[in-house]
Structure 1
Amino acid sequence: MTEPPRTTTSLVADVAARVPDLADALVRVIQEQNPNYRRANVVPRHDLWRSCHDNLTRVLQLVARAAGDDAVVPEDEAYDAARATGRARASQRMPLDDVLRSFRLGGRLVWEALIAEARADERTDPEELLDLASWVWTVVDETSAQVATAYHATERDLVRVDEQRLAALWEGLLTGRAKDPTFARQAAHTIGVPVDGSYAVAVVDLGAEDFERPLAEVGVTSVWQSRTNTRAGLLVVDEDGLAAALAVLRASVGVVAGLSMTVHGLVGVDTAHRQAVLARATVPPGRVEVAALAERLPEALLLSAPDLAEALIRRRLGPLLAIPRAERRLLLDTLTAWLETGGSVNGTATAVHCHRNTVINRLRRIESATGLDLDDTASHLELGLALRASWLLPPGPLA
């Protein structure tokens, strides 16, 4: 009596009974033919074996379902092993190409096991083997797609977590948490800078060109973090290199920026950040430049005490409020030039493009309005500071 042909589902079921042995074989194949698994050393052997076991089981179940066995695996569980593998390998930072290569190796192992089982039993219909080959590779492709989808989703989540963690470390640095040695070491390790050393901070408005490479070309290592409206840069630079860094920033940055003086160690980064913010604030409205705090100390002092700066303006320049705005602007510009030229009438006339007699008349007008004696050099310091403050503070009555 002739035995009935063997069904495809029966063939798949017999191979599925040997999944533990197949998982052992697949682990060996992956380690031999996909050497990144061995070199990267991020996937423990027991983890790899479990993944091989679960995915081989699901692939065989899905092949059986394609062959007509609808009850072999519920729809909501069909790709659970593939998705779990994708999530796990993304978390382990295993490259996706290597993960998908392992799935192709697994698909080949399944097909070879099915062929070996069919050859051992002559009842298998050769025509059904053709269908079986199509089902196997369709399932492997579909499963691989699920792996990739889960991998990319987890990768995106990890990037967000990394970005949030990095942003939190930066905020901690810029607000003084590096005074805690444990935090300082963690920040140094994550950002890739030494705990000790000489640092400066740059604060640059968004929209600047790339300047990390130009800084590196003059020997200045820098790391940057985007914030709400600015980018903060931590520059590993000593006092001698600060001038070179400033020159690079001025040549590369097309937006308003501020640069601190140097501080020692990550513990001083919050101080440097405050200095950089203060330096950036000294740039007059409408100007685009990189301001170095070391060159703007008087302005920085005024901005640090805006109430005192306002009082100084009113004390020395307040009487000019009674003068119409257009004339007041001419008088202030003339006074500024006169102070900057060391009280030179001729120098002031050249700077403001008028006759020296006009300069003299304007200076007398200022003396008349304010009650100041401009020949008294003791008042020059306060006048100069008051003028600087009038440029820096928000537009007020002197504008």
Structure 2
Amino acid sequence: MDRRGAGEVQAAAHSLAGSVLGRVNDLTDELVRVINEQNPGYQQLHVVPEADLWQSCHDNLERVLQLLSQGCDGADRVAQFYDAARATGQRRAQQRLPLDDLLRSFRIGGRMVWQALIAQARAEHVTDTDDLLDLATLVWELVDALSSQVAAAYHVAERALVRADEQRRAALWEGLLQGRASDAAFAYEASRIIRLPVEGPYMAVAAEGRFATSDLTETLGRKLDDSGLRSAWQVRANALVGLVSLPGCDTAELMKALPAVRGAVGVSLVVDGLAEVHTAYRQAVLALRTVPHGKPAVVCLAERLPEALLLSSPELTGSLVQQWLRGLLDLPDEERRILLQTLASWVETGGSATRAAQDLHCHRNTVLNRVRRIEALTGRCLPGGEIPIELALVVRALPFLPSRRRS
């Protein structure tokens, strides 16, 4: 605009915009009609009431025309006309209208303002082409500035909504895992939010939180979706939790998908409906605890019931350990490790020195010598053949003993 003088262009803008401002209501009616015709997002989503659309169109048209008619000298003066754009951006974000649709409506509005100014120029016989070209530049600079304000306000409101949604989702998951789904209203709300059925068989999954990422939950969800299983996943402070709806109680596809998790994974028994998923969650956590530390594995509670019993009853575990391992646990680390390993192999092979020797890669007599050493330390006889259930349980408890008492 320097080549012709900003004053002449401003004068033309003031005159034309002032005239158009007097019929802003008619221009608003036309803009609403065009948006509904050319911007299908408004009609398809039905999130912006007609009265709201009309008012925001009116306020933003008015602000553009006021800026043109009254001048826009100084940043502070321009900024005071951004209120309508900011309010529109915030409101449309809260209504979940896509930002692309919102910005498209502003471009349509800018085009209508320009068309109205051209029509007014013709009515007033303003025919200077350079003036009109410079006025077009000014109009689109203002529309771009207002669009930037709209987008900025939209993003601020969108971030606030995301935080609120995350907090609501986290609270909902806490309610599910604490048993609140026994209340029908809560169960149906949870079903709507996490998109899982209220009724039907469920299994819960618990995994180590250090491996939990949004990419992992998306991968798991996609794998299960492809297998016809619906699931929902939540990353908590120290664990990844999953709820899986199992039509027909078919667990095979679930077990195929879970190795995608790098660490240890626990899987519950099957429970009935969202009302029981808190029980399934506790079971999945218990199954997870039966995996020795640092060992990646997918385990079902159904396969680890003895270990789960021991973990659930530390008093029972402590009593069995004292009865069967008391002197053995006080040995130096290396000797204790060897003897506990021998005891585990002895039990697993049904008291067979030959098979235990093969398992331990040593001579049969070495196994028998170690067994006699264990018997001397514990005061217990280690029979061959049928192993006492108490001794079998003690061996299963070995991975869960406090670190100072296991190898």
With the length of structure 1 as denominator, give the TM-score of the two structures: 0.92
Q: CA deviation at 1:123?
A: 5.9
Matched, 1:139 2:142: yes
Q: Which residue of 2 aligns with 1:12?
A: 17
Matched, 1:227 2:233: no
What are structure 1's unaligned runs of at least 5 residues?
A: none
Matched, 1:111 2:114: yes
Deviates more, 1:103-112 or 1:183-192: 103-112
What letter corresponds to residue 241 of structure 1 in structure 2?
D
Q: Which residue of 2 aligns with 1:40?
A: 45
Helix, strand or coil: the match of 2:296?
coil
Determine the C-alpha separation between the residues in 2 that align with 1:115 and 1:247: 67
What letter corresponds to residue 25 of structure 2 in structure 1?
P
Q: Is the alpha carbon distance of 1:286 and 1:42 closer, same or farther for their aligned partners in structure 2, counting shifts above 3 Å?
A: closer
Matched, 1:51 2:56: yes
Q: CA deviation at 1:15?
A: 0.9
Map 1:333-372 onto structure 2 (within 5 A). Answer: 333-372=341-380
* Identical columns (%): 53
Give the alignment partner of residue 319 of structure 2, picking from 311, 318, 324: 311
- Are the aligned partners of 1:339 and 1:380 in contact in 2 as well (CA < 8 Å)? no
Determine the C-alpha separation between the residues in 2 that align with 1:94 and 1:26: 18
What letter corresponds to residue 328 of structure 1 in structure 2?
R
What letter corresponds to residue 90 of structure 1 in structure 2?
A
Q: Which residue of 2 aligns with 1:169?
A: 172
Helix, strand or coil: the match of 1:196?
coil
Determine the C-alpha separation between the residues in 2 that align with 1:242 and 1:366: 42
Determine the C-alpha separation between the residues in 1 that align with 2:368 and 2:293: 29
Matched, 1:301 2:309: yes
Matched, 1:207 2:211: yes
Matched, 1:94 2:97: yes
Q: Which residue of 1 aligns with 2:392?
A: 384
Task: Give the CA RMSD over aligned residues.
Answer: 2.3
Q: Which residue of 2 aligns with 1:24?
A: 29
What letter corresponds to residue 211 of structure 2 in structure 1?
G
Helix, strand or coil: the match of 2:250?
helix
Q: How many residues align?
A: 392
Helix, strand or coil: the match of 2:403?
coil
What are structure 2's unaligned runs of at least 5 residues?
A: 1-8
- Are the aligned partners of 2:16 and 2:69 in contact in 1 as well (CA < 8 Å)? no
Q: Which residue of 1 aligns with 2:252?
A: 243
What letter corresponds to residue 400 of structure 2 in structure 1?
L
Q: CA deviation at 1:125?
A: 5.3
Helix, strand or coil: the match of 2:202?
strand
Q: Which residue of 2 aligns with 1:267?
A: 275
Deviations 1:271-327 (A, max 9, x none): 100011111111112311112111111111111122331232122201213433322
